[in-house]
Amino acid sequence: MKKSLLTLALFSLTIPLFAQLERKLVNENMPVELTFHAPRHINLLTVEPLDKKSMHFAIMHTFGPLDGGIENLFGLDNGANIQFSFEFALSDRFSAGVARASMDKYYHIFGRYHILQQTQNDNTPISLSFAGGGGVNSSNYDFLPEAPPNFAERTSYWGQLMIARRFSSKVSIQVSPMFSYFVDPREIYQIEGDQEFYLALGLSGKIKVTDRSSLTLQWIPNLNSDLSNNLGIGWDIEAGGHVFQMYFVTSQSLNEPYQLAAGNGDSPWEEFRLGFNVNRVFATGRKKTKY
């Protein structure tokens, strides 16, 4: 008993002698970061948030089908569908964007809201975001014998939930249930489907291969149409402020409504084409270095 008391006393003496501070995280619920390299992943939006007051600029291209061979320089001669997209973060959770794609001269506004962010300690195991928007086909249809579509008939809308998890520093997966709605899906539009309402499940995957590049995958099975499913495979390269995304994909469409309605050919093998995105995030109100 006495011995143990003595030991205790000695022990209590030794602790403060070598007492270091206990290492504590300032924020125990640090969010998991860079689930994906950019707010875009091949063609789909991701849960990757933007910091308040920053702007994400994406320029996206998809070219003609590869099967034209060298004669058409593997589709590059066929002309590209190009989309410019600007997304501004009004807060750390909400951003609003505008985009314009050459396919059907489509003007588009959209918003993205981050509901949950996965945390490093797994208290929140997934990230959850919502996005939705609408746009208008501004092509000139005056050449048609019948009356051209009015503004409302040219519009289409979409919405999607994005549920993502970074399983490890190497592997991230996002599941995005999505819908799109065309007010008047005319045959003259560059879409294959004739339905008004489309449902699909977007699947995005990232497998990090080197510190700053990843293999990327996209598969969008259609849930209520006979159109074939969108398939994409690519490579992301993170280069400082830029993220370059190169991919092969089965559809030339670059925005959500067209993604679901524009079709993907009869089989992926005849419709595969090259695509290329450049993503850049600009910070506004940035702090100047004092020195």
State which of residues 87, 104, 236, 238 lies at the interface with another protein (CB under 8 A). Answer: 238
CB nearer to another protein: pick between 33 and 194: 33
Can residue 290 be called a binding residue for another protein (CB under 8 A)? yes
Please give the Cα distance from 82 to 102 (Å, whole number): 5
Nearer to another protein, 51 or 270 (CB): 51
The residue range among 67-75, 199-207, 268-276, 282-290 that interacts with another protein, by the rule CB under 8 A, is 282-290
Stretch 48-67 residues interacting with another protein (CB under 8 A): 50-51, 54
| Cβ neighbours, 10 Å, residue 38 | 23
Residue 183 half-sphere exposure toward CB, CA atoms < 13 A: 13
Q: What distance lies between CA 124 and its chain's CA centroid?
A: 21
Distance CA 113, CA 128 (A): 9
Which residues inside 13-42 make contact with another protein, applying CB under 8 A?
13, 16-21, 23-27, 30, 33-34
161: contact with another protein by CB under 8 A: no
Name which of 48 and 256 has its Cβ closer to another protein: 48
Task: Tell which one of 169, 170, 209, 221 touches another protein (CB under 8 A).
Answer: 169
Residues that bind another protein (CB under 8 A): 2, 5-6, 8-10, 12-13, 16-21, 23-27, 30, 33-34, 50-51, 54, 120, 169, 211-212, 237-242, 281, 283, 286-287, 289-291
